[in-house]
Structures are given as structure tokens and as C-alpha cells.
Amino acid sequence: MLLNDDAVLAEILPCDLILPSLDAATQKVYEMINRPKAGLKVEDLISGLVKLRERYQGQIWLEVFIIPGINDMEEELLPLREAIARIKPDIVQLNSLDRPGAEEWVEAATARDLKKVKDFMAIALSTPIEIIAKIKYQGGMDSLDAEVVSFIQATISRRPSTAEDLAEMLNIHINEIMKILRELAHEGKLQAERMARGVFYTWKS
């Protein structure tokens, strides 16, 4: 179903919140990621979302599923950013793989990958952009994402930071940051000190 269909549009207009997805703005990558029915064009999807925005008074939270090496390059992000500017959603939510993909080539984006995409989008969009992808662990809860741990180590080695500070810098939910900090503390890698603004963490040398 496409939002260019007035009957479809009429059915969803009473909703308070709509969460559509747009993972690509080029036909090749749209077909690769979404596997649409033959004949469906990504421009029709985009124009339908634009039409929705023109008529719909509620909230639109647009999800973008990021696949490294597929839709996170500038040549793909630029037309996607232009499409989002036309759609004017209330929020853009960046997501990535958190379970085995349908295809072997689908990989999870790292926190750094998603931060780069967010920064690229933010250059030209006034729409709030948030990362909703979950923290990835390598080998289970006992083996933390090395890239996230490396960022935390580099940050708090220079300057003590709170969990809230780290969550904001990494664009990761505070609950996920707390899981990581608890594990690092259990491993004896952190020192915590309660101060006026909260608990500050430093990296033990």
C-alpha cells in the first residue's frame, strides 16, 4: 500500500502517531534493502510520505535502517537527506540490526557508524535525529562492544564524566550505558566518585 492512495491515507489520518520507514532514496538500494513488489518506485514512496505530511496533523517518526556499506555512504545519504527534508517528519530515528539478518550481507552498524550518519543528516536538517539502535555485544554480555568501551576509556581518561554525559555523547540510552559501566566497574576498570552533579567515572590507569 502506498500513501498516494487516498483511501489508505484517509484510514490513517485519525492516528496520533505514525512510524513509517525510509531506508533509501535511490531505486537500486531501495530494492536491495526492502525488496518491494515489482514496479514499486522509491520516489512514489517518498511522494506518498510528503503527501501524508501535508494532510496529517499528528506526529511522524521516520525510521531509517542503516546497513554499513549499503546506505551509509555519502552518495546514498545525500538523496536520503534531501527526501527527509521534503517529508518533514517530527523525528528521524536511526536504527540498525539487532538480530540475525535475512541475508548474510546485512551487518549491524556500530555506534560510530550511526553517529557519522546522524552528523551528516544534522548538517542540513532541523529535524531532531536520534539513534535508537541497541548496543551490540560481541560474544554475549561478558564481552562488551570494544568500540564503545574504547570511546568511554578515552573520554573518562581525559575528563571524569557521568553516565548521563556518556549517554549524550554516544547517543545511547542511559540504561545501556549503565550496563556497560557496571560491567567495567566489576572488572575493576573504573573509579566512581559522587559529586554535586552526580556520580563521576574515571578510568583506572
For the chain, which residues make up each domain, given as ranges? 1-134, 138-205
How is residue 197 annotated by DSSP? Answer: T
| Phi, psi at 75, each rounded to 5° | -65, -20
Give 161-192 pLDDT, tens digit per residue: 999 999 888 877 787 788 888 888 878 889 88
| Residue 109 CB burial class (10 angstroms; 0-12, 13-18, ≥19) | buried
What type of residue sits at position 157? S
Angstrom distances, CA of residue 73 to CA of 16, 42, 79, 120: 33, 18, 11, 10
The structure's pTM equals 0.67
Domain 1-134 belongs in CATH node 3.80.30.10: yes
Q: How does the average pLDDT of the chain come out, rounded?
A: 86
Domain 138-205 belongs in CATH node 1.10.10.10: yes
